[in-house]
A = this chain, B = another copy of it.
Amino acid sequence: MFDNKNLFKTPISEYGEFGLIEHLTKNLSLFNSSTLKSIGDDACVLDSKNKEVLVSSDTLVENIHFNLTYTPLKHLGYKAVVVGISDIIAMNAIPEQILISIAISNRFPVEALDEIYAGISTACNFYKIDLVGGDTTSSNLGLVINITAIGYAKKEDIVYRNGAKPNDLLVVTGDLGGAYFGLQVLERENVAFKANPNLQPDLNDYTYLLERQLKPEARVEIKNLLEEMQVHPTSMIDISDGLASEILHLSQKSNVGFSIYEDKIPMDNQVISTASEFGINPVTGVLNGGEDYEILFTIPVSEHDKIKHNPNFSIIGHATQNNKNFLVTKGQNEIIPLRAQGWEAYLKN
């Protein structure tokens, strides 16, 4: 391996159109019988098998959604798949295909694209997703990745944002805030490294947070888990922006309000200790941070007993008659209106 000095220097222009796409996708497998025709024509061809078809589109932009200083390209490719399929999972559907379009500067060698595709391929293998199309184009503007995700569900299984009813319980999977505080750690170390490149950061205390930020997972198992438990969600969304923003989405679409309880929000110990280190209230990070890709949903209060002791789920609040949204602080000393700060920060760049 080390005898090839040009290993990381193959210019993209050395491949023709045919060659580059074939090279990048040669190790990909197909998993789903819904894929009739994959890469290699003007469009892919899919068989929905009498189910409804769900499609979403997301864009990841360099220096807005990721910083290549500390984001390995392989992780970026993996995360692109997760971001895409999480939207399908959030409709209570099963993701089966993605199309990925990449605009990349010629300052990147082919080996950079190889890394991105290695990450895409790893995620596709893990989640049994078929990469069925896309586009690779030049960019003199940096790296932009667009992900189209496609999934399927029976009509009666699809869960929208607009079905929450007053008194429904608000439930979240996993724990929250990890990705946000992982980003804070990476940003801090990046600044420290720029000031003194000889510094070797000790990141042992943040391993969980860094994994949540750099290699998030999509909750692809939730649909089956809820089915087994005979739990019937009434509304559903994924947590890509902050928890506050997602709650406001459910609130607006369902025309209900939500009250959530600070002490019910699931957080890992690393979130709490790192928040303290940064002098940030951990709940503020959870409400405004985002990128956890957990699933937020409502269930009828009658299904409380089915879910209450399941370690995969936390009941964090409930829906109310009016469309006002509040955080109730610990000890119920204070009631704070929820605002969608995630989105505003997003647009500040």
Binding site for B on A (CB under 8 A): 12-13, 16-18, 36-37, 40-48, 50, 52-59, 61-65, 87-88, 90-91, 93, 97, 99-103, 106, 132-135, 137-142, 144, 146, 148-151, 155, 158, 160-162, 236-238, 241, 245, 248-249, 252-253, 340, 343-344, 346-349
A349 / chain B contacts, CB cutoff of 8 Å:
106, 138, 140
- In angstroms, Cα B105 to Cα A141, docked, is 11
Given A46-B52, A134-B57, check contact A101 B146 (CB 8 Å): yes
* A13 CB to nearest B CB, Å: 5
Q: Are B59 and A101 in contact (CB under 8 A)?
A: yes
Whether B160 contacts A59 by the Cβ 8 Å rule is no
Q: Could you pull out 14 A-B pairs where Cβ atoms are within 8 angstroms?
A: A18-B249, A40-B161, A42-B56, A42-B88, A44-B55, A53-B150, A55-B55, A57-B99, A57-B146, A57-B148, A59-B146, A63-B141, A106-B348, A141-B144
Give Cα A155 to B36, complex, Å: 10
Q: Which residue of B17, B45, B88 is within 8 Å of A43 (Cβ)? A: B88
CA gap between A138 and B12 in the complex, in Å: 27
Given known contacts A42-B88, A161-B40, A137 and B65 CB-to-CB distance under 8 angstroms? yes
Rounded to whole angstroms, the CA-CA distance of A56 and B98 in the bound complex is: 10
Measured CA separation A101–B135 after assembly (Å) = 14
Contact between chains at B56 and A44 (CB < 8 Å): yes
Whether the Cβ atoms of A56 and B99 lie closer than 8 Å is yes
A54 and B58 contacting across the interface, CB-CB below 8 Å:
no
Q: How far is the CA of A161 from the CA of B42 in the complex (A)?
A: 8
Q: How far is the CB of A138 from chain B (nearest CB, A)?
A: 4
Contacts of A149 on B, CB cut-off 8 Å? 43
Asked if B53 contacts A346 (CB within 8 A), the reply is no
| CA of A162 to CA of B41, assembled, Å | 9
Q: Which of B41, B146, B150, B151 contacts A146 (CB 8 A)?
A: B146
Contacts of A41 in B (CB 8 A): 91, 160-162, 253
Flag if A45 contacts B134 (CB, 8 Å): no
Contacts of A236 in B (CB 8 A): 42
B54, A45: Cβ atoms closer than 8 Å: yes
**Which B residues touch A343, using CB under 8 A?**
16-17
Instruction: Indicate if the CB atoms of A61 and B137 lie closer than 8 Å.
Output: yes
Provide the residues of chain B in CB contact with A16, threshold 8 Å: 340, 343-344
**Which chain B residues lie closer than 8 Å to A146 at the CB level?**
57, 59, 101, 146
Smallest CB gap from A60: residue in B:
B137
Contact (Cβ within 8 A) A347 B12: yes
Complex partner residue of A64 from B37, B97, B138, B150, CB under 8 angstroms: B138
A132 to chain B, nearest CB (A): 7
For A151, give its contact among B43, B58, B162 (CB under 8 Å).
B43
Residue pair B55, A150 in contact (C-beta under 8 Å): yes
Q: Given the complex of chains A and B, what is the CA–CA distance between A93 and B41 in angstroms?
A: 13
Known: A43-B91, A47-B53. 20 other contacts (CB 8 A): A16-B343, A17-B340, A17-B343, A18-B249, A43-B87, A43-B90, A45-B91, A45-B158, A50-B50, A55-B99, A57-B101, A57-B133, A57-B134, A59-B102, A59-B135, A61-B138, A61-B141, A139-B141, A139-B144, A146-B146
